Amino acid sequence: MTPAPRLGAAPRTRDITVVGTPTQISTVLNNHAAAGTLIAVTAPRPVAHRDPRMQVVIRVRDVVPPPPAPRPQAIRRRPTRVGLAVTAGILGAAAYLIGVVVEFLATYAQLILGGLVIIVIALSLLLRSLGNGRRHCPGC
């Protein structure tokens, strides 16, 4: 009993010439018979006078798979109200924090600059006391 072809597939036949030893040909015929695709076989003919190989033509059922299903289209989403609200909230928080930083810098600018000047003076004195590896006078 041969199995029915898959649903949605169009059965076709195909003729295949098989050349080989009788054992090889019987293996091919058994495989197609087990798969249910074997339809007909011609009588074996020798390939050449002293060649032990035989030749047969087999007709097999060729099942063409159905075409692949169309891929679904990508869903394009519009910005939602929640997304817009979250974006607006983040932008508002960033603007507020920038305003806080600017106000802090404007209020404490004198102290910040004074601290920087003290640090620069301290570093220059430290580097001067360490020296640059030269002696204090040219004759020493």
> What are 124's two structure tokens?
């220059």
- Structure confidence at residue 74 (pLDDT): 78
The pLDDT of residue 10 is above 70? no
> What are 113's two structure tokens?
């600059």
- Structure confidence at residue 103 (pLDDT): 95
Q: How far apart, in whole angstroms, are the C-alpha atoms of residue 132 and residue 117? A: 22
Domain ranges of the chain: 10-64, 90-130
Determine the average pLDDT of the residues in 117-133: 80
pLDDT tens-digit profile of 43-88? 999 998 888 899 999 999 887 777 888 888 877 777 788 888 999 9
Question: Which one has a higher pLDDT value, 94 or 4?
Answer: 94
pTM exceeding the 0.85 threshold for the entire prediction: no
- Amino acid at site 130: L
